[in-house]
Amino acid sequence: MARPLVYTVGRVIADLYADKVSTPMEQAASFRKYVGGSSANTAVGLARLGRPTGVVARVGRDPMGTFIAETLQREGIDTTMLRLDPQYQTGIAFAALYPPNDSQVWFCGNPNANSRLAVEDLDFDALKEARALVIAGTALAREPARSTVLALAHVAATAQIPVVLDIDWRPVFWERSDEALSVYDKLLPLSQVVLANEPELTVVGDSHEMQDAAARLLGLGVGEVVAKRGKEGAWSFGPHRDPVFVPAFSVPVLNTLGAGDAFAAGYVHGLLAGWEVHERLKWANACGAIVVTRHSCSEAMPTAAEVEALCRRGEREDGSHE
């Protein structure tokens, strides 16, 4: 296995998706099991795009934790820093899909092993060789994971390793959601790129106006703010340039869960490749568009060939932007 170029840090859980779509969860008779959680999904996405990737997280010393570790290993992901917690269980999310709208999600086991990530779990020598760290914001929700992630971000900043912060706002994981802004503010100045959908940008940007929210983050020292808008496309804001916008791809929607994690994988892939902002946004939009057509998060992540094919299709349909 190649030494990881990217590590994803934070939320790794098991997903159980109702087989039958448009059915309330309480009426669902069967569920399919997948690896889930923002960090795991993005790790799979990066690995399928050809990027050597590792995960930094905790899962329970239980059957779900074993399932996650074995599945990630089959994807070619380094699990050296995926620790098994002896006390806390693996987090689980049940989901009922309602295409083309948002899905019903029920998180079980809170707090779970994710919140127990500790400094002693980290191999700093390995992490200092990374070319990027992708941190899921839910890792900030509870201690000791919060302090561990902040310590890791400081080490990355000192080593000039880019930190990509996926806000990953999930109020259910926070003991006090009213403290989230002040906690995020500790990590934001250490982040080169922030990825956020509309409600996430509202929380950390402290404004319902996209440009005002982005301006607040840039003022804190963030190098780039990427606003994910789903079917409305995506924006990138930088401190010394005009905003860049790329429209979304038009695809049939089955499941919106995981699209943002695929977007993150595509965007980081473009960063590592040294692409211009427009190309990064296009590739990220394509990754997210493919995932919304499929019944899962991690297993829905596309390969580079699939993304390239969708981009070529977009060029044929509308050469003005793709």
Active site residues: 261
- In whole angstroms, give the CA distance from residue 207 to residue 104: 26
- In whole angstroms, give the CA distance from residue 307 to residue 19: 26
Cβ contact 137:42 at 8 Å: no
Residue linked to tokens 């499941």: 255
Task: Give the tokens for residue 115.
Answer: 């919140």
Cβ neighbours of residue 313 closer than 8 Å, sequence gap 6 or more: none
Task: Give the tokens for residue 262.
Answer: 């695929």
Cβ contact 175:36 at 8 Å: no
Cα→Cα distances 219→132, 180, 185, 223, 225, Å: 22, 18, 11, 9, 11
Residue 102 has a CB neighbour count (10 Å cut-off) of: 12
Cβ contact 260:297 at 8 Å: no
Q: How far is CA 144 from the centre of its chain?
A: 20
Cβ neighbours of residue 225 closer than 8 Å, sequence gap 6 or more: 193, 194, 196, 201, 213, 214, 217, 218, 236, 237, 238
Helices of type H across the chain:
38-48, 63-74, 124-127, 145-158, 180-187, 198-205, 210-219, 259-273, 277-291, 304-317
Task: Give the tokens for residue 126.
Answer: 């390995």
